[in-house]
Structure 1
Amino acid sequence: MSESGTYWSTWQKLSFSEKLIFLKAAICLILIKCALTVLPFPIFRKLFHGLTSSKSTKEFKPEKVQQIAWSVDTAANILPFELLCLPRALATKYLLRKMPSLTLEIGIEVNPAKKFEAHAWVEKNGRIIIGDWPKTVSYQRLWVWE
């Protein structure tokens, strides 16, 4: 079966609410990609902070958090342009914006033998939600976006 056939069969198996989460993730990724492309980063950061700031909090069930992370990753892989770790982390942070203790982390790989490599991920209380990496790689946090 082709890759698009696999995606289609997976789509058909999703519940209505899972399809809605997937569509929200895809739209969020598209908007974030556009905003990162056209806006200077300080303006994007201020705008994104305003959109993700919430006075109310909501705990999400682990299954829903996992579904959102899967939807973001899958939509990022399907969309016809490159969406690396930062847009994925930003989309996840936005979709889970009411979840307390959620942070977007940005770091650099700790390996003097390699060229500079940055990475973004989202975690809650030290547990990575999206943007995990192999155990053979180590990242040093540079910035935490709460």
Structure 2
Amino acid sequence: MRARLREFRALSRAQKLLLCEAVALIVASKVLLTVVGLEDAERCFGTLSQFLPCHRQPEAPKSVRWAVLTAGSRLPGTYDCLERALTGSTLLEASDFPHCLRFGVDTQSDTFEAHAWVESNGDVLIGDVDDFGRFRALTEREVRG
């Protein structure tokens, strides 16, 4: 625990703020998705993104990726691709970065598996997996900056 506190103290003020936002959003996404479902959670996060501070720097997409992955891996419990993708999309939207939130399904397996990810500038920013080619995008939500 002390090591994590030291790590947190060593971060810049901007990194601390972004990480705290990611922690709050990823926990909120888990609750909202469970209680109200995807459509209402997206609507709520879309509104919330208007009130978050803007992190408009050239490295912001990479910073958002770092914050979401760090929050999702350091918090107790499990946070899946949908919760991470919603969190990342919200943080990117708050900073007016164009990106695309995609939802897809596994087309190569006999079992149903869905996946959510965020693309920015043609690259998968959040939700990259080793065998990504097996997923076919069903829907996407483009967010223009």
Q: Establish whether TM, by shorter chain, passes 0.5.
A: yes
Structure 2: which 5+ residue stretches go unaligned?
A: none
Q: Which residue is 1:20 aligned to?
A: 17
CA separation in 1, counterparts of 2:55 and 2:14? Answer: 18
Distance (whole Å) between structure 2 residues aligned to residue 24 and residue 117 of structure 1: 29
Cα displacement (A) at 1:40: 3.7
Q: Pick from 104, 109, 120: which aligns with 1:107?
A: 104
Q: Which residue pairs with 1:94 in the alignment?
A: 90
Comparing 65-74 with 44-53, greater Cα deviation is found at 44-53
Asked if structure 2 preserves the Cα contact closer than 8 Å seen for 1:60 and 1:99, the reply is no
Count of equivalent residues: 139
The equivalent residue for 1:31 is: 28
Taking the TM superposition and a 5 Å limit, the aligned residue runs for 1:16-95 are 16-52=13-49, 60-61=57-58, 63-95=59-91
| Separation in structure 2 between the aligned mates of residue 128 and residue 35 of structure 1, nearest angstrom | 24
TM-score under structure 1 length normalisation: 0.79
Q: 1:122·1:130 contact (CA, 8 Å) conserved in 2?
A: yes
User: Contact 1:58 / 1:100 at 8 angstroms: preserved in 2?
Assistant: no
The one-letter amino acid of 1:19's match is K
Q: Which residue of 2 aligns with 1:133?
A: 129
How far does residue 124 in structure 1 lie from its aligned partner after superposition? 1.8
Residues 136 and 81 of structure 1: is their aligned pair in 2 closer, same or farther, counting only changes over 3 Å?
A: closer
The 2-side partners of 1:32 and 1:13 are apart by 27
Are 1:123 and 2:122 matched, yes or no? no
Gaps of 5+ in 1: none
TM-score normalised by L of structure 2: 0.80
Cα distance in 1, alignment partners of residues 132 and 79 from structure 2: 23
2:23–2:72 CA contact under 8 A, matched in 1 = yes
Q: Distance in 2 between matches of 1:118 and 1:6?
A: 36
Q: 1:64 Cα shift?
A: 2.2
When structure 1 is superposed on structure 2, of 136-145 and 89-98 the one drifting more is 136-145
- Once residues 136 and 47 of structure 1 are traced to their aligned partners in structure 2, the CA distance between those partners, rounded to angstroms, is 29
Q: Bigger shift: 80-89 or 132-141?
A: 132-141
CA distance in 1, matches of 2:38, 2:5: 36
1:68 Cα offset (Å) = 1.3
Deviation at 1:66, TM superposition (A): 1.1
Equivalents in 2 of 1:132, 1:13: separation in Å?
A: 28
**Is the Cα–Cα contact under 8 Å of residues 81 and 116 in structure 2 kept in the other structure?**
yes
